[in-house]
Structure 1
Amino acid sequence: MSFTFREQETVELVKQLVEIPSPSGYTKEITDYIENMVVNLNLSYKKTNKGAIIVTIPGKDESKHRLLTAHIDTLGAMVKEVKASGRLKLSMVGGFNWNAVEGEYCTIHTANGKKVRGTILMHQTTVHVYKNAGSLSRDEQNIEVRIDEVVTNADDTRKLGIEVGDFISFDPRFEFTESGFVKSRHLDDKASAALLLELIRSIQDQKMELPNTTHFYISNNEEIGYGGNSNIPKETVEYIAVDMGAIGDGQTSDEYTVSICAKDSSGPYHYELTRQLVELAKKQEIGFKLDIYPYYGSDASAAIRAGFDVKHALFGPGIEASHAYERTHIDSLRNTAQLLYTYINTTIS
C-alpha cells in the first residue's frame, strides 16, 4: 500500500470544518458532525465528558499505543455586556489581537438557538466623527459588535434573545485559490483535523493493519489550554500533536512544507521522537522544516503538564498569520499528510 493524497477531498473537508462555528466552549455542533463521520466509517470511538472524540484503531502490537491529536475548537468571543446602545461588548475566547478581527462579520449564538448576524467594529469607526479613529487602542473597551437587527437600546437587543454569556463566532471566509493557497480563519487547527480524518478514512478504505494500536484524539479545548490532557490510554507511549507551524521573522517554517517543532513555550519536545520524525521525512523525501515556536503551546505539552508519561512531539502544516486571517498551501497539507501516513506505519521501539 502506498500514500495517496486526495487533494480535492481534503480541501473540501477543510472547508466544511471551518464553516461550522466552534469557538472553545461551543463545540457540540462540530463534534456531532465528526461523530457522524466516524459512525459512518464503522469505527470504534469514545466521546469524553468534555466532548472530545477518540477513535481507536487496533494494531498488531496492542501493548504499546500511539496517539495523534488535532483540535477543532477555535478562537471566538462571548458577550460581556449588552451596552445601552444595544451593541455588544466582548470577552475573548482564546488568545488573539483585537485588530485581527476588526471589521469581521460574526454570528451571535443565543441560548434559545437563534443566530443573529453582526459586525465587529471599533466604537469610534466613523472617521467623519472621530478624528482619532485610526490611533485609538484596539481593545475590549473600544471594540464592539454592531448587530444586524433594528436595535437602539439594550432592551431591543435582549428581546432578540441575546444576553451575557452568549457565544460569538467569526466568519471564516474560506477560499481555495488557483495557485493552491487555502485561505480561511480557523485553519488552526481544522486543517490538521481534516488531515487526521482523511488518514482515518484511508486506513479504513485500504484495510490497513497498523503496527501499533493508534488513537486519533479530536480535542475541543486546546485554545484555552486543556484540550488533550485527559482520557489518554495508559498504554500510550508516543503522543503526537498535529497542529500548525508558526511563520514569521526568525522562523524556518513556510506555507509549503510540514513544520516539525523542536521546542515551544513549554520547553523542548521529546528529542528522540522528534529526530525520528525528521529522519522519516528525509527518507521519504517529504518537504519539512524544523522550527522553534516562542509563543506557542499544544495539546501535547498540555498532556505533559498533566503528568502523562509519554514521548511527545508536534508537527503540522505551516500556516501564515496565525490567529488572524490564516493561509497555507496545498503542498504543506500534502507534506503533512505524507508524514502522518509514514509515521503511523512505523513500529514503536
Structure 2
Amino acid sequence: MNKPDTNQTIELIRELVSIPSPSGNTERVISYVEDYLGKLGVETKRNRKGGLIATLPGKDDSQHRMLTAHVDTLGAMVKEIKPSGRLKLSLIGGFKFNSIEGEYCEIETSAGKKYTGTILMHQTSVHVYKDAGKAERNEANMEVRIDEKVHSAGEVRDLGIEVGDFVSFDPRVETTKSGYLKSRHLDDKASVGILMQLMRQVKEEGLELPHTTHFLISNNEEIGYGGNASIPAETVEYLAVDMGAMGDGQTTDEYTVSICVKDASGPYHYGLRKNLTSLAEKNEIGYKLDIYPYYGSDASAAIRSGHDIVHGLVGPGIDSSHAYERTHMDSIEETTRLLLAYVMEPVIET
C-alpha cells in the first residue's frame, strides 16, 4: 500500500467545505460526493433521508463493515423578516450565536436564488448603542444584514426570501505554509474527504478488503439521526469518523488521530477500541485516547436506534469545534493511515 496523498485529501476537503450544506439542505454536496465516487467506479445508492451509501466488495460477504462521516453542517433558517428588512435566525445544530457574529452568510430561497449577507448584532454600532459590548448574543439581538437595497419586510419578500429559507456560513477556508487547514465545517467534512481519499486508494491500488465495506455519507448528524438507519443486516462493525474535540482536560491535538473511548452516550465498544489502538501502535500511527463530555456521533445514534453492532469513533483533531475550526495535515494523514489499516484487517471476534 502506498502512503495516502494528504495534499489531495486537503484539496478534497477545501472543495467540500465550499459547498453550502446545512442540515436539511444537503443535495448539492451529496451529489458532489456521488459524482466523485461514480468516476472511480464505486457503487453508490441513496437512502430515503438523502444520505449516500458507497460499497466496496470484500473477500467475506457474510460479515460487513460500515464507516460513516457526515456531510451536513451547522447553519440556520430564516426565523422572521423584520420590519427593518433584516432577518432573524433559527439555528440548525448545537452552537452559540457568538460563534457566528460578524460572519458572512448566504441565504438560499426555495426557488434557488442566493443572496449574501452578514450576521451582526442589532446593537453593533458603538457610536449609537451604549450596550453594544454587553448585550446578549441571542436570537432576539442577532440579525442578518442582507446585501441588497431593502428597508422593509415587503422589499425582502419581493426578493423571494421567506421564513424557512436556509442560511449557510462562509467557510473562510485557508491553508497555511505550516500545514494547517482553517475553515468552518471541518466537522465533519474533513472526515468525508478522508473517506473519499480512502476509497480512491482502495480502487486505484486494487486492494482486496477482507470484508465488504460500506461508507455512509450521512446528512443529518448535526440534528441527531444521520447514521441510525440504512445499516445492512450483515454489518457487524460500525465506525463513525468524526472530529476529535479539543479543549481543557482533553488529550486530542491537531497532529494525531483521536480515538474516542466515551462520549455523552456512554463508552464505545472496548474490543474495537483496543483493536484500533493496537493497529495504531503496530503501524506507528500517532493517536490519542479521549472522552468527549458533550458529544454524540452517528455510531451512538445507530446504537440507540437498536442495531446489534460493534461501534467505535475516531477522527482528526479539530480545534474550536462548532466555531472557526482548524486542524493540521498531520492529523488528516494519521487518521487516513489508521482507517486504511483498519479496513485491511478482519473484524474483531465478539
SS class of match (2:238): strand
Q: Could you tell me which residue of structure 1 aligns to residue 322 of structure 2?
A: 323
SS class of match (2:181): strand
Q: Could you tell me which residue of structure 1 aligns to residue 16 of structure 2?
A: 17
Query: TM-score, normalised to structure 1's length?
Result: 0.99
Q: Could you tell me which residue of structure 1 aligns to residue 150 of structure 2?
A: 151
Query: What does 1:74-223 correspond to in 2, within 5 Å?
Result: 74-223=73-222
Mapped partners of 2:11, 2:32: distance in 1: 15
In the TM superposition, residue 91 of structure 1 has moved relative to its aligned partner by 0.1
SS class of match (2:132): coil
- 1:3·1:341 contact (CA, 8 Å) conserved in 2? no
**For structure 2, which runs of at least 5 residues remain unmatched after alignment?**
none
Q: Deviations over 1:47-99 (max 9, x none)?
A: 11111111111111111111000000000000000000010000000010100
Mapped partners of 2:273, 2:75: distance in 1: 32
Q: Deviations over 1:199-237 (max 9, x none)?
A: 001111011110011001100000000000001000000
In the TM superposition, residue 13 of structure 1 has moved relative to its aligned partner by 0.4
Query: What does 1:62-77 correspond to in 2, within 5 Å?
Result: 62-77=61-76
In the TM superposition, residue 35 of structure 1 has moved relative to its aligned partner by 1.0
In the TM superposition, residue 39 of structure 1 has moved relative to its aligned partner by 1.4
Mapped partners of 1:220, 1:52: distance in 2: 5
Q: Could you tell me which residue of structure 2 aligns to residue 4 of structure 1?
A: 3
SS class of match (2:302): helix
Mapped partners of 2:2, 2:232: distance in 1: 28
In the TM superposition, residue 5 of structure 1 has moved relative to its aligned partner by 1.8
Mapped partners of 2:320, 2:346: distance in 1: 36
Query: What does 1:163-312 correspond to in 2, within 5 Å?
Result: 163-312=162-311
- 2:4·2:201 contact (CA, 8 Å) conserved in 1? no
Mapped partners of 2:239, 2:215: distance in 1: 10
Query: TM-score, normalised to structure 2's length?
Result: 0.99
Aligned partner letter, 1:186: H
In the TM superposition, residue 172 of structure 1 has moved relative to its aligned partner by 0.2
SS class of match (2:345): coil
C-alpha RMSD of the superposition: 0.6
Q: How many residues align?
A: 348
Q: Could you tell me which residue of structure 2 aligns to residue 44 of structure 1?
A: 43
Percent of aligned pairs with the same amino acid? 63
SS class of match (1:217): strand
Aligned partner letter, 2:165: D
SS class of match (1:280): helix
**For structure 1, which runs of at least 5 residues remain unmatched after alignment?**
none
Stretches of 4+ moved more than 4 A in 1? none
SS class of match (1:38): helix
Aligned partner letter, 1:296: Y
Q: Deviations over 1:287-333 (max 9, x none)?
A: 00000000000000000000000000000000000000000000000
Mapped partners of 1:172, 1:309: distance in 2: 37
Aligned partner letter, 1:223: E
In the TM superposition, residue 45 of structure 1 has moved relative to its aligned partner by 1.5
Aligned partner letter, 1:190: K
In the TM superposition, residue 3 of structure 1 has moved relative to its aligned partner by 3.8
Mapped partners of 1:42, 1:247: distance in 2: 37
